[in-house]
């Protein structure tokens, strides 16, 4: 029996279609993947506030878990998700700190949240694209959701340019 036949048998195991086999022979798993972006929407960030980041475009959402009105992702498959991204900032002057966080279930600062802080003793942070924290987060597949937040010690404009775009991604890496 050829390996292709064994793979074809796996495709129909227990009547599931968790993966497909492309005509090139590649196995194509069906897993939750999300990527949203924002290009030039000029979202305002007030100094010292924790602001939810808004995203204007859905590039890919294989399970329909993105909520465009609330700017949040609720995956419908329980498991561990790899998350990350980049946010573009325009500061009117150099700033001391920028914080980016991927917050779970509306928390402000929680042990489960992913958080990155760029911090300097003096105002040295300038305009540019700043990476979000990247890491794994467990999602229960029903009620858990994530939102992206940012703050800075001074005002800023988020997503001030079409190039480079800001984006957020999430991908299931281990279902439970």
Cα gap 36→170, rounded to integer Å: 9
Within this chain, do residues 15 and 41 fall inside the same structural domain, yes or no?
A: no
Residues in the chain: 176
Helix (H, G, I), strand (E, B) or coil at 5: helix
Maximum Cα interatomic distance, the chain, rounded to a whole number of Å: 68
pLDDT, residue 9, reads 45
Within this chain, do residues 103 and 122 fall inside the same structural domain, yes or no?
A: yes
Within this chain, do residues 45 and 25 fall inside the same structural domain, yes or no?
A: no
pLDDT, residue 162, reads 85
Within this chain, do residues 4 and 61 fall inside the same structural domain, yes or no?
A: no
| DSSP at 147 | E
pLDDT tens-place values along the chain, 176 residues long: 444 444 444 445 555 566 667 677 776 667 899 999 999 999 999 999 999 999 999 999 999 999 999 999 999 999 999 999 999 999 988 899 999 999 999 877 677 899 999 987 777 788 889 999 999 999 999 999 999 999 999 999 999 988 899 999 999 999 99
pLDDT, residue 2, reads 46
CATH of residue 127's domain is 2.60.120.40
Within this chain, do residues 22 and 71 fall inside the same structural domain, yes or no?
A: no
pLDDT, residue 3, reads 47
> pTM of the full predicted structure?
0.84
Cα gap 27→16, rounded to integer Å: 15
Q: Are 158 and 43 in contact (CB under 8 A)?
A: yes
Which among 114, 83, 97, 100 is positioned nearest to 152, based on CA atoms? 97
Within this chain, do residues 121 and 140 fall inside the same structural domain, yes or no?
A: yes
Q: What is the tally of structural domains in the chain?
A: 2
Within this chain, do residues 156 and 70 fall inside the same structural domain, yes or no?
A: yes
Within this chain, do residues 22 and 58 fall inside the same structural domain, yes or no?
A: no
Say which residue the tokens 């305002």 belong to.
44
Q: Are 127 and 92 in contact (CB under 8 A)?
A: no
Where in the sequence is the domain holding 18, given as residue range(s)?
Answer: 1-30
Within this chain, do residues 66 and 5 fall inside the same structural domain, yes or no?
A: no
């Amino acid at each position: 029996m050829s390996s292709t036949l064994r793979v074809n048998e796996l495709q129909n195991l227990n009547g599931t279609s968790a993966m497909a086999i492309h005509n090139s022979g590649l196995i194509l798993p069906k897993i939750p993947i999300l990527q949203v972006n924002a290009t030039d929407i000029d979202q305002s960030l007030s100094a010292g506030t924790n602001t939810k980041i808004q995203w204007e475009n859905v590039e890919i959402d294989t399970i329909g878990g993105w909520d465009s009105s609330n700017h949040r992702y609720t995956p419908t498959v329980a498991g561990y998700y790899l998350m990350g991204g980049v946010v573009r900032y325009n500061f009117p002057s150099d700033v001391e700190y920028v914080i980016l966080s991927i917050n779970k279930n509306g928390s402000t600062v929680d042990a489960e949240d992913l958080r990155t802080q760029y911090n300097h003793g003096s105002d040295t942070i300038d305009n540019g694209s700043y990476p979000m924290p990247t890491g794994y987060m467990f999602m229960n597949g029903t009620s858990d959701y994530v939102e992206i937040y940012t703050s800075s010690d001074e005002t800023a404009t988020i997503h001030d340019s079409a190039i480079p775009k800001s984006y957020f991604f999430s991908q299931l890496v281990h279902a439970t």
